[in-house]
Structure 1
Amino acid sequence: MSQSLMVEALGGLAALFTTLCWLPQVVKVIRDRDTSSLSLTTFATLVTGLAFWLAYGVAIQSWPIIIANSLTLALNATILAVKLRYG
């Protein structure tokens, strides 16, 4: 396996794990509707940052960045929406 392919695989695995790590939190937040222990400022800032990462990925036409940040943005925007709705 070439070094370039290994680096891309490493990046892909990093993106997969850092994206999927939010799935249990989203399921819990939706199921329990309890976001009292979650910081609104943190999630608002995170969602904003992810939107910028997505825009960056689109600007440089990097599919790994676009896919990873689209999914992570969707998951965290869901958490933020539940936080805004249920406090």
Structure 2
Amino acid sequence: MFGPALIHLIGLTAAIVTTLCWIPQAVQIIRTRDTRAISLPAYGAYSGGIMLWLVYGIMLGDLPLIFANTITLALQLVIVGLKLRYG
């Protein structure tokens, strides 16, 4: 029904959108140094899940999964690091 190119484009678009959505949160924390509303257990668990998705994508050789989860993991680790630093 759908061609491989369309399926790949949908996956890549989803990867870009769901990855870029974390940039405003990271920028907000960097600017304000306010992390009171950030749940360390939630962000830590989410980062662990993203790490597993990254490993899964690497094992499959799936570039949208690898791309999205590498960048998302980096952004999540920045947020977790800032939470640990600023409380």
Q: Same fold (TM over 0.5)?
A: yes
- Using the size of structure 1 for normalisation, the TM-score is 0.93
Q: CA deviation digits over 1:14-63, x for unaligned, max 9?
A: 11100000001110011111110111111000111111111111111111
Identity of aligned residues (%): 43
Q: Aligned partners of 2:24 and 2:10: how far apart in 1?
A: 23
- Alignment correspondent of 2:20: 20
**How many residue pairs were aligned?**
86
SS in 2 for 1:34: coil
5 Å-filtered alignment, 1:23-42, equals 23-42=23-42
Is 1:8 the counterpart of 2:8 in the alignment? Answer: yes
Which runs of 5 or more residues in structure 1 are unaligned?
Answer: none
> How big is the shift at 1:86?
0.7
Q: TM-score, normalised by structure 2?
A: 0.93
User: Does the residue aligned with 2:36 lie in a helix, a strand or coil?
Assistant: coil
Which 5+ residue runs of structure 2 have no aligned equivalent?
Answer: none
Runs of 4+, deviation exceeding 4 Å: none
Partner Cα distance (2:9, 2:37) in 1: 35
Q: Distance in 1 between matches of 2:62 and 2:40?
A: 30
